[in-house]
Amino acid sequence: MPSFTIPPAAIAVNRPAVSGPVVVSVPHAGRIYPPEILAAARVGRPDLERLEDSWCDLIAGRAADAGATVVEAMWARAVADLNRGEGQMAPGEVAMPLRSQFSAPGRKERAGLGVVPTRLADCGPLWKRPIDHAALHWRLESFHRPYHAALTAELATARRRFGHAILIDLHSMPPIPHGQPGHGSRIIIGDHFGATAGEWLVDRVTALAEGLGATVSRNQPYSGGHIVRTHGRPAQGVHAVQIEIDRSLYLTQDRLPDTAAVSRLACWFANLVREVGQERPESEIFPQAAE
């Protein structure tokens, strides 16, 4: 009987012994490339690794100790982009029979950065063949859908226990180029222009980020992607913010972790988790007069 390699788990959920209302999402730092992905690629692994939020999972390394449940992608972003919706692909990036289900692509999708990344600057197409139904289905069923199901379940559990839940979606970014909105900012807080979180949470996260001594901006140029837009429901007690951290704050020029810088950011992030976990939505602090 032939033997088959069973790939490691696509996601990991780390629940603390004593949990609070905070759920941390780390969707783009996975470094596992299933054999199917490497076999399908027309570029080498170093090119696929350019898609990663390199090593930002280390920043969340102490979040569970601070009471957060951490949902982390173990598979690489090249498999599927968990921060894109299932319908976010440009028709020209998929096989002909799939094209009718994708329409009105945005700038990122047209650039090949849809739910399945298909192109990168200076690389051309990433895959030997257009993404067909079998490839798309496998990527969604094995990785994308389980990740979002885990977030949904952990946020529901937190909301039942505490009356509200807080999602922090953690990412890293390259330095913002000169002339682009947000240039000079080292940390970006995204709440989709007020749609995914209460002001109380965004203000607190912003203040804690400014405590690092880094320039912080809100929603420019990253206002929050599919994860916070899907799971953030402030009216239903689920508040979600996206945090983007400039990689130069914790990586060397060789894109490797700077031990001291990573430790500093991990301590900061654990404190942020602890602090926001003690906050309560304003609606719970100030009941309406009719109540």
Residues 166, 198: Cα–Cα separation, whole Å: 10
pLDDT of residue 104: 76
Express each pLDDT in 227-246 by its tens digit.
999 999 999 999 999 999 99
Q: Which residue's entry shows tokens 């709440």? A: 191
pLDDT of residue 283: 59
| pLDDT greater than 50 at residue 3 | no
Buried b (16+ CB within 10 A) or exposed e, 158-194: bbeebebbbbbbbbbbeebeeeeebeebbbbbbbbee
> Can you read off the two tokens belonging to residue 46?
């170093």
Q: Parse the chain into domains and list their residue ranges.
A: 11-86+158-279
> Can you read off the two tokens belonging to residue 177?
């180029």
**81 close to 118: Cβ distance less than 8 angstroms:** no
Nearest to 74 by CA among 179, 150, 159: 150
Average pLDDT over residues 77-92: 95
The more confident residue out of 166 and 289 is: 166
pLDDT of residue 290: 42
pLDDT of residue 285: 46
Q: Identify the band that residue 73 occupies on the pLDDT scale cut at 50, 70 and 90.
A: very high
Express each pLDDT in 42-70 by its tens digit.
999 999 999 999 999 999 999 999 999 99
pLDDT of residue 288: 41
pLDDT of residue 240: 98
pLDDT of residue 262: 98
3-state secondary structure of 191: coil
Express each pLDDT in 252-288 by its tens digit.
999 999 999 999 999 999 999 999 999 888 655 444 4
Average pLDDT over residues 95-111: 88
Which region, left, alpha or beta, applies to residue 108 given φ > 0 means left and ψ of -120 to 50 means alpha?
A: alpha
Express each pLDDT in 157-189 by its tens digit.
999 999 999 999 999 999 998 888 889 999 999
- The pTM of this model reads 0.93
Q: What is the mean pLDDT of the chain?
A: 93
pLDDT of residue 6: 56
Q: What is the CATH architecture of 11-86+158-279? A: 3-Layer(aba) Sandwich (3.40)
Residues 141, 251: Cα–Cα separation, whole Å: 33
**204 close to 60: Cβ distance less than 8 angstroms:** no
Average pLDDT over residues 130-134: 95
